[in-house]
Amino acid sequence: MLVIEREEVYEALRALGDNVALAGTALASRLPEVAAATTLEQRAARLRSLLLQAIELLRPPRRSSFGSLESRSYDVLTLRYVEGLSVREVCQELSLGPRQVHRALREAEAKLARVISGQVAGSELAAGTVGGDPLAGELLTLDAQPMTVQLVPVLREALSLVQPLAERLGVTLQIEPLPESAPCLGDPAILKQLLVQFTSAALQASAPGGAVSLALHAEREGPLLQLRFEAEPPRLHAERFAAAERIALSLGIQCRAELRACGRSEVRLRLRAGGPLRVLVVEDNPGVAELYKRYLAPMGWVVHVVADPRLAAEVARRNQPDAIVLDVMMPKSDGWTVLAQLRAQPETASTPVVVCSVVDDPELALTLGASAYLRKPVSRSQLIAALRRSLAAGAEQRQAPGQHRGA
């Protein structure tokens, strides 16, 4: 087994934002996947992605408050190396003394070395187990490839896979007439797996002689899939539905499961319509930019990064992104100036802007026209939720009388 030392991880983390230095680290030469890259840029990109993924695996599976003991390893690594804060600034953010921060960093770096060793060795950590939660790691590393697909053929394939189970259990699959066309945005393979998982759970929760009814409605906001069944208490395993629900939500699919041990249960899935959303990320830190890409790519969002804030307004004007994620503390210019420029030009005046910064000034961000403000470090759920809220608010504003983009 390849054992990665803490010192090797420390060296790589210090070079996280420098392609030349990162590609030349000892860790880059020891990891086969990284060392096999043909160019310096590819080596740096592969190692940076691996390090960011490993850091995310240290995020507590349960919701923990920022700075808590449970999330300390994740917090110190993110603040110090991903966000690039000094040790003094980390002390201020976490309300800790310098000795405590240095000790926490050493412990976190050692944990990270074990995670990377496990990934290389194909151990439990390589499979993406996060704090005893395999699904969290699986969702983190899920490489979804969203595209516009017709849901009906995907659904038929899923139903053909669960039909033998329905026959064995003595449960009837009742399928209402399917629409001719139900386009949606998603990865067809993962969508099929998700449909199989929900339908299988519903079949196994039903008593012999029961029925699971399925209806698919083609609606403007996206296809709506409904599963209804009578659950039998000993057969109803809520954790199966909860796992499927987590997968759906991670893919941007609205999901609601109303489970009743006695009575009618229902699962509703609202899939996404339309093409992929385009997000412009204005961020000079390549580690943070790569992290945001990892957050948003599984949602089918196309992410374009601008590292030089002086170019942000012009790139946004030409490319017309659906939303912008904006840092504040950047060299050569600052996020406040960029935000003012975006709001001053007609082409981007109404484009939703989510400000993500270590600077704690949400009032200024909102006053200058930001749609939302997030304090770094930003989690995947926070960023996605802020973008969704901002996009929804922007759509409502454009639909209001007398309002339109570029007005």
Per-residue model confidence (pLDDT) at position 123 = 40
User: In the structure, how many helices (H) and strands (E) does the chain have?
Assistant: 17, 12
Nearest by Cα to 321 from 266, 369, 282, 268: 282
Per-residue model confidence (pLDDT) at position 71 = 82
Task: Give percent of the chain with pLDDT exceeding 90.
Answer: 44
Mean pLDDT of 137-142: 54
Q: How many CA atoms lie within 13 A of 270 on its CB side?
A: 7
The answer to whether residue 144 scores a pLDDT higher than 70 is no
Surface-to-core class of residue 11, CB atoms within 10 Å of its CB (0-12 exposed, 13-18 middle, 19+ buried): middle
pLDDT in tens, 275-327: 678 899 999 888 888 888 878 876 778 899 999 999 999 999 999 999 999 99
Per-residue model confidence (pLDDT) at position 173 = 96
Mean pLDDT of 147-175: 94
pLDDT band at 119 (very low <50, low <70, confident <90, very high): low
296 vs 366: which has the higher pLDDT: 366
Per-residue model confidence (pLDDT) at position 394 = 67
Task: Give percent of the chain with pLDDT exceeding 70.
Answer: 86
Nearest by Cα to 171 from 130, 200, 142, 140: 200
Name the residue with tokens 């209804």.
228
Is the domain defined by 278-391 classed in CATH 3.40.50.2300? Answer: yes
| CA 73 – CA 54 distance, rounded (Å) | 12
| CA 94 – CA 225 distance, rounded (Å) | 44
The answer to whether residue 266 scores a pLDDT higher than 90 is yes
Q: From the centroid of its chain, how far is CA 285?
A: 19
| CA 326 – CA 67 distance, rounded (Å) | 24
Q: Where are the domains of the chain?
A: 6-140, 147-270, 278-391
Per-residue model confidence (pLDDT) at position 190 = 87
For 135-149, 174-188, 202-216, which range has the lowest pLDDT when averaged over its residues? 135-149
Averaged pLDDT of the chain: 84
Mean pLDDT of 146-166: 92
* Contact assessment for residue 58 and residue 115, using Cβ atoms and an 8 Å cutoff: yes
pLDDT band at 197 (very low <50, low <70, confident <90, very high): very high
For 1-10, 14-23, 94-103, 133-142, which range has the lowest pLDDT when averaged over its residues? 133-142
| CA 109 – CA 5 distance, rounded (Å) | 9
Name the residue with tokens 């319509």.
273
Tokens of 345: 């030009």
Per-residue model confidence (pLDDT) at position 402 = 47
Per-residue model confidence (pLDDT) at position 97 = 94
Domains 147-270 and 278-391 fall in the same CATH topology: no
Tokens of 11: 């060296």
pLDDT band at 238 (very low <50, low <70, confident <90, very high): confident
Backbone phi, psi, residue 185, to 5°: -100, 125
The answer to whether residue 228 scores a pLDDT higher than 80 is yes
> What CATH fold (topology level) applies to the domain 147-270?
Heat Shock Protein 90 (3.30.565)
Tokens of 386: 């802020």
Task: Cite the DSSP H helix spans in 282-330.
Answer: 286-296, 312-319
pLDDT in tens, 10-69: 999 999 888 899 999 999 999 888 888 889 888 988 898 888 878 877 877 554 555 577
